[in-house]
Amino acid sequence: MTISSSLNAGVAGLQANATRLASISDNIANSSTFGYKRVTTDFESMVLTTASGSGSYAAGGVRTSTQRLIDERGTLVSTSNATDLAVRGRGMLPVAQRPDVAVNQDESQMFLTTTGSFRTDSDGYLKSDSGLVLMGWPALQDGTIPSFPRDTADGLVPIRINANEFSSDPTTAIKLGVNLPATETEAGATGDPEQLSVEYFDNLGTSETISVSFTPTVPGTGASNEWTMTLTDSAAPGTPIGEYVVTFEDSRTAGGTLLNVATVSGGAYDVATGTVIVNVASGPIEIDIGTYGDSDGLTQLSYNFAPVSVSKDGSPVGNLTSIDVDSNGFVRASFDTGVTKTIYQVPLVDLPNPNGMIALDAQIYQPSTDSGAFFLWDASDGPTGDIVSFAREESTTDVAGELTSMIQTQRAYSSNAKVIQTVDEMLQETTNIKR
């Protein structure tokens, strides 16, 4: 009977609006939850009678489908924690669940989220209050990130910070910007050498010194414009590690710049780069003295000995002071020596259909067949946005909109209840016919 279908349609309407109210209540309850993605409920009609002119109609009712809009982005708000992270634009952060990390160590299952407040726990893992551990690619000792597969999470490991970590970098390059006095290569000069000491750090972070002696060649007449540069290492005293005869220009256009460098001992002078390589106790060091005709290396002008610019790489042993994450996802450790070192890189994970992922507790999501295959991008590369530190993403719930939908749902629920009440009265009248 069509009257029975009306009753079923009314019941379906109650169920559909109850489902919609459940999604509304969930959205409102999570209106202050960072990273929460709102749920929408759509109604779909059900048609049971398709033949026209049959003289009767059976109500099919309604059914619902719900969807979590994971691709929607909430407003970013600033915080005071450097490892509070949010994604600005497309892409998601890879995370793991802390209990899984404790069991599987570096083979934890990857989940995705768009924001998180990460701080180091007792084991040094960058973990949120909800138990999510940030994942990334580990850097090599020199701070570079090796090549990892981008279509699998096999290269990702939970990010772990050693708060008591020490770090040092050996010196591998030195640049000398020194002016030698031209008057010392003239006839009648004293011929006294000029001395320069340059600190370097060995492979264990110990401070050592390269002593550089510049001895002028004093001619009988005129000016030689020639110096002998001798280098010695404090870690192996008494033995020169390099000796070079340096001649300078005295022309009007290039006066005071390098004219020629003759190697007596040590690594040969490279005309193209202006460098020599000498071997100290801890290994080779490249020393830049400038190219021919160049004025930012060794020069010979006037009567002053002046170490204008002496620079080097490397650093002594330092203590870890802070951790931060830049917009490209590089996790950097800062030490009290002023050195900053890259230790991990956090990629951004992108999928063809983010809304097809499986939603789990604590605003994390798991890729599925409906979401499509994922790909790990460098932040700010490809279709992805960047990573913002000192920030969290707010809930995408619009409370005013949800309250309006609640009023509509309440009215629709009441109307469907009225339909059931009316059908009940009609069935009662049908029962009364027999009396």
Q: What is the DSSP string of 127-190?
A: E-TTSEEEEEEEP-TTSPPPP--SSSSTT-EE-B--TT-EEEE---EEEEEEEEPGGGGBTT--
Residue 182 — φ and ψ, nearest 5°? -65, -30
Name the band, by pLDDT with cuts 50, 70 and 90, for residue 331: very high
- The pTM for the full model equals 0.72
Of 432 and 414, more confident: 414
Rounded average pLDDT over 356-378: 94
Domain presence at residue 404? no
The three-state secondary structure class of 303 is coil
| Same domain? 6 vs 86 | no
| Same domain? 186 vs 284 | yes
- Indicate the number of domains in the chain: 3
Domain boundary among 313, 339, 361: 313
pLDDT confidence of residue 106: 65
The answer on pLDDT for 171 being more than 80 is: yes
**How many beta carbons lie within 10 A of that of residue 52, not counting itself?**
5
pLDDT confidence of residue 416: 85
Domain presence at residue 411? no
Least confident of 3-12, 162-171, 362-371: 162-171
| Same domain? 206 vs 220 | yes
Domain presence at residue 407? no
Q: Looking at residue 302, which CATH number applies to its domain?
A: 2.60.98.20
Instruction: Give percent of the chain with pLDDT exceeding 90.
Output: 68
| Same domain? 111 vs 159 | yes
| Run of H or E residues at 432 | helix 399-432
Domain presence at residue 413? no
| Same domain? 263 vs 211 | yes
Of 428 and 218, more confident: 218
Domain presence at residue 332? yes
| Run of H or E residues at 306 | strand 306-312
Domain presence at residue 267? yes
| Same domain? 307 vs 326 | no
Rounded average pLDDT over 322-332: 93
pLDDT confidence of residue 164: 63
pLDDT confidence of residue 384: 94
Rounded average pLDDT over 280-304: 92
| Same domain? 292 vs 344 | no
User: CB burial class (10 A; 0-12, 13-18, 19+) of residue 310?
Assistant: middle
Domain boundary among 313, 345, 369: 313
Domain presence at residue 412? no
Domain presence at residue 300? yes
Helices and strands of the chain, counted as H and E runs: 3, 31
Rounded average pLDDT over 17-35: 94
| Per-residue tokens: 90 | 């497309």
pLDDT confidence of residue 165: 63
Domain boundary among 273, 296, 313: 313
Rounded average pLDDT over 237-259: 93
Name the band, by pLDDT with cuts 50, 70 and 90, for residue 102: confident
| Run of H or E residues at 220 | none
| Per-residue tokens: 337 | 């020596």
Give the chain's largest Cα–Cα span: 146
| Same domain? 381 vs 348 | yes
- Residue indicated by tokens 């996790």: 331
pLDDT confidence of residue 105: 66
81: containing domain: 76-167+318-393
Q: Which is nearest to 208 in space by CA: 241, 178, 246, 243?
A: 241
| Same domain? 226 vs 212 | yes
- Residue indicated by tokens 């002053």: 304
Residues 6+ apart with CB under 8 A from 1: none
Q: Which is nearest to 27 in space by CA: 365, 405, 407?
A: 405
- Residue indicated by tokens 């917009």: 327
The answer on pLDDT for 435 being more than 70 is: no
pLDDT confidence of residue 430: 80
Edge-first strand order for the sheet with 115-117 is: 115-117, 84-88, 386-389
Name the band, by pLDDT with cuts 50, 70 and 90, for residue 107: confident
| Same domain? 180 vs 274 | yes
pLDDT confidence of residue 87: 96
Beta bridge pairs of residue 278: 285
Alpha-carbon gap, residue 384 to 387, rounded angstroms? 10
| Per-residue tokens: 20 | 């919609």
Alpha-carbon gap, residue 410 to 408, rounded angstroms? 5
pLDDT confidence of residue 103: 77
Q: Which is nearest to 396 in space by CA: 115, 130, 129, 127?
A: 115
Instruction: Supply the DSSP string of 66-91, one letter for each residue.
Output: EEE-TT--PPEEE-S-TTEEEEESS-
pLDDT in tens, 200-239: 998 888 889 999 999 999 999 999 999 999 999 999 888 8
pLDDT confidence of residue 317: 77
Highest-confidence segment of 161-175, 307-321, 384-398: 384-398
| Same domain? 290 vs 187 | yes
Q: Which is nearest to 314 in space by CA: 431, 175, 424, 423?
A: 175
Alpha-carbon gap, residue 302 to 180, rounded angstroms? 8
Cα–Cα separations (whole angstroms), residue 136 to 46, 330, 344, 346: 48, 9, 6, 4
Name the band, by pLDDT with cuts 50, 70 and 90, for residue 48: confident
| Arithmetic mean of pLDDT over the chain | 90
Rounded average pLDDT over 233-259: 92
Looking at residue 280, its amino acid is: V
pLDDT in tens, 396-420: 999 999 999 999 999 988 988 888 8
Of 6 and 140, more confident: 140
- Residue indicated by tokens 């890879």: 94
The answer on pLDDT for 52 being more than 80 is: no
| Same domain? 307 vs 272 | yes
Contact call for residues 74 and 59 (beta carbons, < 8 A): no
The answer on pLDDT for 163 being more than 90 is: no
How many Cα atoms within 13 Å fall on the side-chain side of residue 428?
6
Q: Which is nearest to 335 in space by CA: 143, 158, 198, 144?
A: 143
